[in-house]
Amino acid sequence: MAKAPKLNDRPHVVTANHLSTGDVVYLTAQNEWSRAIADAVIAPNAEAAAAYLAEAEEQARRNIVVAPYLIPVDTQVSPPNPIQFRERIRAFGPTTEAA
């Protein structure tokens, strides 16, 4: 079995919570925030990821969002799918619909 790529080698997107609403949001290519991960700007490498995160942190200082951070995503699918389980729940909502 081929080894899965390390988390850090994967593409990333920037996520945060919107300050005044609390909504889960993703940084877009226009440096705006969208509630849909489909709108997220993809950072293909560490350099781009750092630049996007810096922009997001600046927006956190300007009190638009809270606590931005990078998450690795799988870009083979659409919309991009977060690798981490927790982030999939953040992106797509609770899994608790009655069986």
Partner 1 sequence: MYKYDQLDQTIVEERVAQFRDQVARRIAGELSEDEFKPLRLQNGLYLQLHAYMLRVAIPYGVLSSRQLRQLAHIACRYDRGWGHFTTRQNIQFNWIKLEEAPDALADLAKVQMHAIQTSGNCIRNTTTDQFAGAAADEIEDPRVWCEIIRQWSTFHPEFSFLPRKFKIAVTGSPNDRAAVRVHDIGLRMHKNARGEVGFEVIVGGGLGRTPFIGKTIRDFLPKQHLLSYLEAILRVYNQFGRRDNMYKARIKVLVHEIGIEAMREKVEAEWQAIKDGALQLPQDLVDQIAAHFAPPPFETLPAGIAPEYAQAFRTDFEFGLWARRNTAKHKQPGYAIVTISLKKEGEAPGDASAEQMQAVADIADRYSFGEIRVTHEQNLVLPHVKQADLPAVWRALKAYDLATPNVGLASDIIACPGLDYCALANARSIPVAQQIALRFKNWERAHDIGELKIKISGCINACGHHHVGHIGILGVDKAGEEYYQVTLGGSADQNASLGDLIGPGLDARQVVDAIDAIVETYLRIRQKDEIFLDTYRRVGLKPFKEAVYAAA
- The residues of the shown chain that bind partner 1, judged by CB under 8 A, are 17, 19-24, 60, 62-63, 66-67, 84-86, 89-90, 93-96, 98-99
For partner 1, the closer CB: 48 or 57: 57
d(CA 39, CA 79): 8
SS3 for 84? coil
What is the 3-state secondary structure of 32-44?
CEECCHHHCCCEC
Give the C-alpha separation, 18 to 33, whole Å: 8
Q: How far is the CB of 27 from partner 1 (least distance, A)?
A: 17
Nearer to partner 1, 78 or 96 (CB): 96
Cβ 75 to partner 1 shortest distance, Å:
19
